[in-house]
Amino acid sequence: MASHRKWSPTGTRIAGIRTPALATAALTSVALLSQTANAAPSADSKPSIEEVEKKVDDLYHQAEAATEKYNATREKTAQQRKRVDSLLDDVAQRTEKLNTARDELGSFAAAQYRTGASAPDTATLLLADNPQDYFDQTQLMSRLTSRQKVAVDDYITEQAATTKKRAEASQSLQTLTTTQSALRTSKADVQRKLAEARDLLSKLTADEKARLAAIEKKKQEAADRKAAELAQQQAAAEKKAQEAAARQQTTTGTTGTTATTGTSGSSATDSSYTAKADKALAFARAQVGKPYVWGATGPGSYDCSGLTQAAWKTAGVDLPRTTWDQVNVGTTVPLSDIKPGDLVFFYDDISHVGLYVGNGMMIHAPKPGAYVREESIFYGGESIIHSVVRPA
């Protein structure tokens, strides 16, 4: 009966086999998914300009952190190379001294052979032409034996010292080799990060580059506004301090009393720092327009810590090479108390530094492809500011 007939869906043949319609649909879905997976990425899968910008910024940040690691390793390599050179010079001098001592021992052995090495006895006395000859011979042998003993002791001591120095030199050479390998690794890491950033930027179309420039402009405008706010806050605070000082002076003059405070000492300290800071800032301003080159310390190019080190050196202050060490020199001050000449450090890993010039601005060597320039300390937002340090 028709009512008891089972429904048999129309099927299709694949390789001579009839397949149910449901299976056909499943196979069709798999085929479409496979085609989608193998097809070129669609426009929707392409990262947005904002994502590209963040990725590039992250890569530059990573490259700068790797640069500071490279700088630290290079400093360590230079120190180890000096130590190796010093040890090798010492070994050469000791070896020469050892050879001299060996020659001296050889001359003693020859002298003993010529004069006779055995102690004088009765037979020697009988063979001597006269008592005076015997006396002269025993005196010579006595002197040779005494000098030989000193020479042997000196030789043994020098040989032990030379062996020790050779072992130290060998160990230092191994350490230097290891450090040089680490230096090459950190250098390759920097180059890899920069190459990846360049590759991302090179794939942008002209329109995308324009949009990226517009985003950067907005960020810069926001940073400039933040810098202006800081400048206004500092100006207001300075004005209040001046008004308070004027009121105190008026009060003191009216009562006819003299108050002793520590302000004079503080003023002297401020004046000394200002003079040094002015020298550092004058140098930094003269470097504006020079290219950022990772690992560079001038005079034609700089990285961030290379610039701050060179600037403060003109003021007679020797800063360490890396940001990680520079942050520990001097006195940490709050952002609200920042003064021209202070060092501003960025990011949690303290991988960037700039030289504060006032009004919320700094001079720094920003990143590869850029030039030393004056820019707001809020260029990446206030959140990335790690600390402010007064180095002198």
352 is catalytic: yes
Of 4, 61, 304, 386, the catalytic one is 304
Query: How many helices (H) and strands (E) would you count in the chain?
Result: 8, 8
| Strands laid side by side in the 331-333 sheet | 331-333, 385-390, 343-346, 352-358, 361-364, 373-376
To the query of whether residue 4 is one of the catalytic residues in this protein, the response is no
Compute φ and ψ for 256, nearest 5 degrees: 75, 15
Question: In this structure, what token pair is assigned to residue 56?
Answer: 């590039």
Catalytic residue flag (residue 61): no
Judge residue 347's burial from the number of C-beta atoms within 10 Å of its C-beta, 0-12 exposed, 13-18 middle, 19 or more buried: middle
Question: Is the distance from CB of 322 to CB of 72 less than 8 angstroms?
Answer: yes
Q: ω into residue 299 within 30 of 0, thus cis?
A: yes
Write out the two tokens for 93.
């001098």
Residue of 4, 61, 364, 386 marked catalytic: 364
For residue 190, give the nearest of 299, 68, 301 by alpha carbon.
68
Cα–chain center distance at 281: 23
Buried (b) or exposed (e) across 371-388, using 16+ Cβ within 10 A?
ebbebbbbbbeeeebbbb
Q: What DSSP state is assigned to residue 382? A: G
Token readout for 92 is: 């050469």
CA 185 to CA 159: how far, in whole Å? 39
DSSP letter at 297?
Answer: B
Nearest to 267 by CA among 245, 285, 296, 289: 245
CA 201 to mean position of chain CA atoms: 27
Cβ atoms of residues 47 and 200 within 8 Å: no
DSSP 43: G
* Residue whose token pair is 């207001």: 236
C-beta separation of 360 from 375 below 8 A: no
Distance CA 116, CA 124 (A): 11
Active site residues: 304, 352, 364
